[in-house]
Amino acid sequence: MRNCKKIAVALAAFLFSATAFGQSGDFTVSGKVVNSSGQALSGATVTFLNVNKRLSWDFSRADGSFGTVVSGSIPRAEQTARLSMSASGLVTVDIFDMAGKKISTVVNPSLAKGTYSLEPVCAKLSKAMYFVKITANGKVSYQKLVNTGNNLRTSSDYSLSSSSSEMVLAKKLASVDSIRVGKTGYKSVIVPITSYTDNITTPIALTAINIDAQVDSIFNLMTLPEKLGQLAMPPNAGGTGVNASSAASNRIGNIFGGGGCLDGKDAAYNADYVDGVQNAMINNTPRKIPVLCGYDMVHGASAVPGATFFPHNLALGAIQDTLLIQKAFRVTALEVRGSGCNWGFGPCIAVIRDDRWGRAYEGFCETPERTQIMARHAVLGIQTTDLSLPQAYAGCAKHFAGDGNTLNGTNTGTTEGPDATARAINLPGYASAVQAGVATIMPSFSAWCDGRRMHRNRALLTDWLKSTANGNPGFKGFLVGDYEAAWPLDSSVWAGVDVPMAPGTGVGIISTNPNTTGPGGEIYYQNFTNVYNAPKFGGILQGQVNDAVKRVLRVKCWMNLFSPSQYITDRRLTSLVGCADHRAVARACVRASQVLLKNINSAIPIPKSSNVAIIGDAGDNIGLQVGGWAVTWQGQAGAYNGVTGTTVRQGVAATCTGNVTYNQGYTNSNYVIAFLSETPYAETDFPDLSLTGKNSSGSNSSVITQIAAAHAAGKKVVVVLIAGRVLDISSVIDNCDAFVWAGLPGTEGNGISDVLFGDYKFTGKLPVTWPMNSAQEPINSGDTKVGRYAYGFGLTD
Ligand code: BGC
């Protein structure tokens, strides 16, 4: 029963404070959000429409307020052009205040084409913002005008329809941007702002949408094949999957993409593909229901070549700044949406109880308390609190539950018991993800401690996760099965999976009908139809199918997916995939996730003038940095198509003013930076945590020898472990002056040089207890074992 009591108390405290939305992005416009009855509305997402401000967002607090109130003089961002005339002749200039009230008219019978000063007029006006309507030879145009007393500023021309009300025009003309305020289940509103520090005094009212009524209005018209289509998920076109025409003719509800699904194609290619499918669904199906297109998005938009790849989750778990974590997932959302996808299989919120698990790098940490926090920030980053935001996508918390807590860390094995302990460790993260609004959840391949496979575990999938009884999460989104997780579709074992992930061919998902040899989606629902109609399943299955279909439709309604702004890709986002701003966030994450475990003899920071010898494969190897789930499923060592970024060596070279060599020994250097690493992998078991185990990268043995020799030769030796998990470092730890756990940092290797050379301090803390060796596993905080370094340990210098 280790930790049980402590965990229960922590969970209670968390749920108690669950209505607070906490940290969010960098937002300075302030205001208040209310519901249609005028009561404060918390948890609304506020964003700017200007895509350059995409990494600034806020959530309304308990009193409905958002933003930061800025006092003192407020700089305005207007342009300084003079009033300019595009026509000459008889010109009328009407001046309006910002409420749309006309306050002055200037008629100039002989104005020439060109610029014109209104300063004499403005001298008579109070200092304020106005807009002017210029009528010249029957042509109307509008311009904004700011009278600061001695200085007149106008905007360039606006071509707005003169039929709009002057009030609307005034606001549009005055705005430098608009804010969008929305919340899942509410109709969003757009409010123009006149500067990026505006204080909006009129409360912004959001009206609730009756989502269930919307779902029913679609559902009630659907035929059986249409309903079953909503539960189908054939593979994307990168494989042998659906195209626009087969998607529409089969009334497909979802599209699947696993590791490597884009086959080297980029974000623009996929956006074209998805937009094509969506247009076909709208134009060629009776119900016009757009698809959810979900790919594995594991550390950034990691299925997408050219995207920004963040540190894998275990390294993100070392970051203390939760805003930065949220920001990482906001960037992911922008890149996922830019690539045309609107659904992604992540975040993985496995609690990493055994470091031997081959997927340890996919979870954030070993404690349920911190998993709750990480899950919340990941979901808020991916989805915000408004799934109808065009820059949010439907997240998928996985793998429910106990995947990181199996006996001996065996992948797809059996979770350690007893039941109460397993629940206390593995369920809180999901309560947190649901509370943050996660749209979908994926059951685990593993079995619960009672031996029942999770896909068949009605007690947890339905009676706990989907139920609201006894304070259970009451999850209203849908459960997507894991890849070809075989479970006979039989009412006696139907445990709650709504959308089976059955994209392949020959998938034995339907025990009563082995005819599963065609392309996944079509055959899947044909079989599904047969089974659904089989008398043996009676009403129970029909009820479950209906509930599953409604859950899929609910997610689509939450997302407002029926609107073109949601189902068609915003190409501005496509052009931002892998952009410098996004990489800067990833670099900040790399830097903040580095954990300094040893630092003697003032080894770190490394003086920039040092002569540095870099040794070890991972010192200059983008493939080893990004690990698995990077364009391809397994990842691979070295440079490869679609993975672009900076290696650590490149980062060191840009920082260090001394001589930098790579894999050329250490004789002529005073500093050695030695890299140890793992060969990329995904979903594989490597129970051996030794540095030279089966999954270690080729150079480790020789690097270990060189570390000892360099140390004996009196060099300063800094060892950096680039690995998805914690390993047995007994062979090197006494032969170095400094030791850093870098996790799997992703594409921005210069985040590592940032901290090694002292441009930034080390702030990362261990997300797991570091074992002495494999035999000590499982080892976790709160148990009696003493590892090499405690959970939460990390030096600052
Ligand atoms: C993994 C999931 C993944 C799915 C789709 C499975 O093998 O367990 O994490 O989302 O494949 O690729």
State the Cα–Cα distance between residues 92 and 111, nearest whole angstrom. Answer: 10
Output the 3-class SS for 625-693: HHCCCECECCCCCCCCCCCCCECHHHHHHHHCCCCEEECCCCCCCCEEEEEEEECCCCCCCCCCCECCC
The radius of gyration of the chain from alpha carbons, rounded to an integer in Å, stands at: 29
Q: State which ligand 1 atom lies nearest to the alpha carbon of 345.
A: 10
Predicted pLDDT at 509? 32
For residue 741, report the phi and psi dihedrals to the nearest 5 degrees: -95, 120
Which protein residues are within 6 Å of ligand 1, measured from CB?
258-259, 296, 345, 398, 445, 482-483, 683
- The β-bridge relationship of strands 716-722 and 738-743 is parallel
Please enumerate in sequence order all residues whose Cβ is within 8 A of that of 341, keeping only pairs 6 or more positions apart, or say none. Answer: 257, 270, 274, 293, 294, 295, 297, 301, 303, 393
In order, the DSSP letters of 30-65 are BEEEEETTS-B--S-EEEESSGGGTT-EEE--TTSE
Predicted pLDDT at 213? 98
Say how many Å lie between the CA of residue 442 and the centre of ligand 1.
9
Predicted pLDDT at 199? 87
Predicted pLDDT at 249? 86
User: Among residues 153, 177, 128, which one has the least CA distance to residue 78?
Assistant: 153
Q: How many residues does the chain have?
A: 797
Q: State which ligand 1 atom lies nearest to the alpha carbon of 362.
A: 9
Which amino acid is it at 341? C
List the structure tokens of 368.
Answer: 């349920």
Q: Whose CA is nearest to atom 11 of ligand 1?
A: 483
**Eight-state DSSP code of residue 427:** S
Q: Could you give the angle at which helices 4-16 and 419-426 cross, rounded to 10 degrees?
A: 40
Residue 305 · residue 268 · CB < 8 Å: no
Q: Please give the sequence-ordered ranges of beta strands (E in DSSP) within 315-411, or none if there are none.
A: 343-344, 396-400
* Least confident residue range of 118-122, 409-413, 509-513, 581-585: 509-513
Residue 441 · residue 457 · CB < 8 Å: no
State the Cα–Cα distance between residues 768 and 274, nearest whole angstrom. Answer: 39
Say how many Å lie between the CA of residue 497 and the centre of ligand 1.
15
Distances (CA, A) of 141 to 79, 184, 208, 510: 17, 38, 37, 65
Residue 661 · residue 669 · CB < 8 Å: yes
Mean pLDDT of 337-362: 98
Mean pLDDT of 360-364: 98
Residue 59 · residue 43 · CB < 8 Å: yes
Look up tokens 């579709």; give the residue: 489
Sheet of 738-743, strands arranged across:
595-599, 738-743, 716-722, 671-677, 612-615, 660-662
Mean of pLDDT over the chain: 86
pTM over cut 0.85: yes
Q: Write out pLDDT tens, residues 156-185.
A: 444 444 444 555 655 666 677 889 999 999
- pLDDT beyond 80 at 507: no
Q: Whose CA is nearest to atom 12 of ligand 1?
A: 258
Predicted pLDDT at 75? 32
Q: Whose CA is nearest to atom 7 of ligand 1?
A: 483
Say how many Å lie between the CA of residue 234 and the centre of ligand 1.
14
- The β-bridge relationship of strands 204-208 and 31-35 is parallel
Pocket test for ligand 1, best of 482, 484, 631 (most atoms within 8 A of CB): 482
Look up tokens 């992911």; give the residue: 332
Ramachandran class of 169: left when φ > 0, alpha when ψ lies in -120 to 50, beta otherwise: alpha
Q: Is 543 helix (H, G, I), strand (E, B) or coil?
A: helix
* Least confident residue range of 12-16, 410-414, 551-555: 12-16
- Is residue 778 reached through a cis peptide bond, with omega within 30 degrees of 0 on the bond before it? yes
90 burial via Cβ count (<10 Å: 0-12, 13-18, 19+): middle
State the Cα–Cα distance between residues 70 and 86, nearest whole angstrom. Answer: 38
Please enumerate in sequence order all residues whose Cβ is within 8 A of that of 565, keeping only pairs 6 or more positions apart, or say none. Answer: 390
Q: Write out pLDDT tens, residues 195-205.
A: 788 889 899 99
Say how many Å lie between the CA of residue 258 and the centre of ligand 1.
7
Say how many Å lie between the CA of residue 483 and the centre of ligand 1.
5
**Eight-state DSSP code of residue 360:** G
Q: State which ligand 1 atom lies nearest to the alpha carbon of 348.
A: 9
% the chain with pLDDT above 90: 66
Pocket test for ligand 1, best of 336, 361, 483, 507 (most atoms within 8 A of CB): 483
Mean pLDDT of 403-412: 97
Residue 660 · residue 653 · CB < 8 Å: yes
CA dihedral 12, 18, 23, 25 (to 10 degrees): 150
Residue 347 · residue 292 · CB < 8 Å: no
Say how many Å lie between the CA of residue 683 and the centre of ligand 1.
8
Neighbours of 723 (CB within 10 A): 27
- Is residue 399 reached through a cis peptide bond, with omega within 30 degrees of 0 on the bond before it? yes
Q: Could you give the angle at which helices 368-383 and 4-16 cross, rounded to 10 degrees?
A: 30
Cα of 763 vs its chain's centroid, Å: 22
For residue 278, report the phi and psi dihedrals to the nearest 5 degrees: -60, -45
Beta bridge partners of 66: 31
Q: State which ligand 1 atom lies nearest to the alpha carbon of 445.
A: 8
User: Among residues 43, 47, 27, which one has the least CA distance to residue 178?
Assistant: 47
Say how many Å lie between the CA of residue 460 and the centre of ligand 1.
20
Q: State which ligand 1 atom lies nearest to the alpha carbon of 346.
A: 10
Q: Whose CA is nearest to atom 6 of ligand 1?
A: 483
Predicted pLDDT at 508? 29
- The β-bridge relationship of strands 114-116 and 83-85 is antiparallel
Q: Write out pLDDT tens, residues 615-648.
A: 999 999 999 999 999 999 999 999 999 999 999 9
Say how many Å lie between the CA of residue 360 and the centre of ligand 1.
14
Say how many Å lie between the CA of residue 294 and the centre of ligand 1.
11
